[in-house]
Each structure stands twice: as structure tokens, then as C-alpha cells.
């Protein structure tokens, strides 16, 4: 039988452990699909802004390229081993990151998913664009540019990327409602590497090049930054820019210039600063015991030369990365 003195000491030790400080500064790992694109730098800016407001530290680290699945898996596993307070993750593959996210959840590290979906329920909240709606916007925009109909090309991004697949599916669904529009190619993938996307885009359009060098394509859609940028270069280099209606996705200085020059007719824009901001806010709120919506829609807009000077659109085209 335990002596009374030992019982008192044991209870005191337990109470001491339970009353340990709970206001230690939280550390949130923010893991993008990649770190080089303007889109991800905007996500970072939003995450930093949220971290300052809620008084937490963030660690920003991810693979250099958007096709480095094993690299992103290793990042998540490393942060689980380290024991961070929470994780904000933009999974670059909707299946490859399921197991490491499950590992985080099992280790009681809450995960908020941003940008692109994951085939699991092991997360606190999904903070992202309505990507199906984004694709539909692109399809409707292209249809308005081609009132007499035309031949349409879709250059896809990469297999396994949930966000871009939803955009592509939304685009094709919208195009399918216009009988005068005909999709002549929708099964080619540009990939995350700009040079690879350029080669794919040039090879794809070359299939529809006439003997006089003209292009038998009337409309093009690309569902992300790298494919849009690569396709813009293909059109310029081959003398096709401005001769085909072109809707792209996301914003960089080069893409904004392409729209100003009339080489791009419109850009479908997300709000990556808001996405990073709300992702960090959501995981911290959950850790602090607050209710968090399961799905947070960060919005999407079609920006054209006609509306690009509007303040709200200008903010999306030129996000404040140093805020």
C-alpha cells in the first residue's frame, strides 16, 4: 500500500504537470507545393501577416519544384518528428501526402490544407479557391470571346494535382454547354517545369499549324502559372500571339504584361495572400479551441484588360509581398 506521504507527492507532481505553462509561443510549419513561383511567395506573405497578428512563429519550407512529391512528404514527416504545433500544407499530390498527414494527425498535430485537395478527412479545414468554378469562369470567358464558335485547346498541368484537375474539368464542363465550340485537344500535360511546359505547348500547337504558318486554333486555356507562362512564350515565339484567344491562370509580371500587350485575353486569379493568411489563422484558431469552418472559399476573379485597373483587381495582379 502506498504511504500517505507518497500519495500526496504523486498528486502534487500530477497537478504540477497539468498546470504547466500553456501559453508557449506556437510554431506553425507552412509547406507549399514549391517555393519559386510568384503564387507561393504570395502565400508566404499572407502566412507571415497572419503569424504577426496572432503571435505565432511560422517555418516556411517546401520543395523547390512542384513535381517533388518525395521532397514534400519528407518535409511533412520532418515537422511531425520535430513536433511543431500545427501544419499548413498545400499538397502537390492528392494521394502521396495522405499518409504523412495521417501521421501528423495521429501525433496530435493539426493540419490545415490549402490550395489543393487531399483524398482524406484527416484535416481541420480546407482553405482554397473553388477551382471548379474557376475553370467554369475560364470556359465562359473564352466562349464570350468566340461568339461564332471555334476550335479549343486545353493544355493541362499535371496528373495528381487536385486543384488544376478541378479547373480543367470545370473548363471542359463549361465549354460543353456551347455547341459552336469544339475541343480539339484536352489530354496533354505541360508539367511543373517551365521548359517542359514550353516544349509540350509548342508540340501541341504544331499539330494544328497550317502550311502558311497560321494556327488552326481559336482558343486556348492553361490552368496554372507555369503552363500559362510557357504557352505565352510559345505564342510569341511563333508569331501567334494576339491571333488566338487565350485565357490563363494566376499572375506574374510577365503575364500581366502579356495581358496589357493583348497576347492574353484574361487571367483567372485566386487570392494567394488571403489563402496563406486564412490557412495560418485557421490552424491557430483550432489549436486555441475555437470553431473553424471545414471549408473556407478564398474567392476567384476573371481579370481582363478592361477591368485590370480596378483597385480590387489591381491588388490581385500586384500582391503586396512585403506586407
Region at 289 (left for phi over 0; alpha for psi -120 to 50; beta for the rest) = left
181 falls within a domain: yes
Which CATH number belongs to the domain containing residue 198 in this structure?
Answer: 3.40.50.2300
Let me know whether 182 and 137 are in one domain: yes
- Domain range enclosing 150: 131-269
- pTM (2 decimals)? 0.84
Closest CA to 296 of 134, 113, 127, 163: 127
Let me know whether 152 and 258 are in one domain: yes
Let me know whether 135 and 256 are in one domain: yes
Q: Render each residue's pLDDT in the chain as its tens digit; 323 residues.
A: 445 444 333 434 433 333 333 458 999 999 999 998 889 999 999 999 999 999 999 999 999 888 899 999 999 999 999 999 999 999 999 999 999 999 999 999 999 999 999 999 999 999 999 999 999 999 999 999 999 999 999 999 999 899 999 999 999 999 999 999 999 999 999 998 899 999 999 999 999 998 888 999 999 999 999 999 999 999 999 999 999 999 999 999 999 999 999 999 999 999 999 999 999 999 999 999 999 999 999 999 999 999 999 999 999 998 877 65
- On the 0-12 / 13-18 / 19+ scale of CB atoms within 10 A, 77 is middle
- Other C-beta atoms closer than 10 Å to the C-beta of 183 total 17
Let me know whether 44 and 98 are in one domain: yes
Alpha helices in 111-215 (DSSP H): 131-145, 162-175, 194-206
Let me know whether 122 and 156 are in one domain: no
How many domains does the structure of the chain reveal? 2
Let me know whether 43 and 161 are in one domain: no
Let me know whether 201 and 280 are in one domain: no
DSSP track, 57-112: EEEE---SSTT-HHHHHHHHHHHHHHT-SEEEE--SSTTTTHHHHHHHHHTT--EE
* Residues 226, 102: Cα–Cα separation, whole Å: 30
Let me know whether 231 and 282 are in one domain: no
Q: CA-CA distances (angstroms) from residue 313 to 153, 200, 249? A: 27, 31, 14
7 falls within a domain: no
4 falls within a domain: no
Let me know whether 227 and 275 are in one domain: no
Let me know whether 123 and 198 are in one domain: no
Let me know whether 219 and 142 are in one domain: yes
Amino acid at each position: 500500500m502506498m504511504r500517505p506521504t507518497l500519495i500526496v507527492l504523486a498528486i502534487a507532481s500530477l497537478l504540477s504537470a497539468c498546470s504547466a505553462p500553456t501559453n508557449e509561443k506556437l510554431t506553425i510549419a507552412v509547406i507549399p507545393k514549391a517555393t519559386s513561383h510568384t503564387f507561393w511567395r504570395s502565400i508566404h506573405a499572407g502566412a507571415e501577416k497572419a503569424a504577426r497578428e496572432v503571435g505565432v512563429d511560422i517555418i516556411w519550407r517546401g520543395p523547390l519544384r512542384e513535381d517533388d512529391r518525395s521532397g514534400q512528404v519528407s518535409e511533412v514527416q520532418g515537422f511531425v518528428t520535430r513536433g511543431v504545433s500545427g501544419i499548413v500544407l498545400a499538397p502537390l499530390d492528392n494521394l502521396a501526402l495522405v499518409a504523412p498527414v495521417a501521421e501528423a494527425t495521429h501525433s496530435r498535430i493539426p493540419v490545415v490544407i490549402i490550395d489543393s485537395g487531399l483524398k482524406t478527412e484527416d484535416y481541420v479545414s480546407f482553405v482554397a479557391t473553388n477551382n471548379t468554378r474557376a475553370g467554369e469562369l475560364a470556359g465562359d470567358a473564352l466562349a464570350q470571346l468566340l461568339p461564332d464558335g471555334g476550335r479549343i485547346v486545353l493544355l493541362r498541368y499535371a496528373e495528381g494535382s487536385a486543384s488544376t484537375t478541378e479547373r480543367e474539368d470545370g473548363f471542359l464542363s463549361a465549354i460543353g454547354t456551347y455547341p459552336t465550340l469544339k475541343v480539339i485537344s484536352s489530354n496533354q500535360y505541360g508539367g511543373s517545369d517551365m521548359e517542359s511546359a514550353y516544349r509540350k505547348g509548342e508540340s501541341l500547337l504544331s499539330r494544328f499549324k497550317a502550311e502558311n504558318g497560321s494556327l488552326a486554333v481559336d482558343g486556348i486555356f492553361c490552368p496554372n502559372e507555369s503552363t500559362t507562362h510557357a504557352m505565352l512564350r510559345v505564342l510569341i515565339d511563333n508569331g501567334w500571339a494576339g491571333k488566338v484567344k487565350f485565357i490563363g491562370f494566376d499572375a506574374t509580371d510577365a503575364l500581366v504584361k502579356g495581358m496589357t500587350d493583348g497576347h492574353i485575353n484574361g487571367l483567372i486569379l485566386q487570392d494567394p495572400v488571403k489563402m496563406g493568411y486564412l490557412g495560418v489563422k485557421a490552424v491557430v484558431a483550432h489549436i486555441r479551441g475555437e470553431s473553424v469552418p471545414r471549408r473556407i472559399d478564398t474567392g476567384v476573379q476573371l481579370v481582363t484588360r478592361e477591368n485590370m485597373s480596378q483597385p480590387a483587381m489591381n491588388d490581385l495582379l500586384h500582391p503586396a509581398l512585403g506586407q
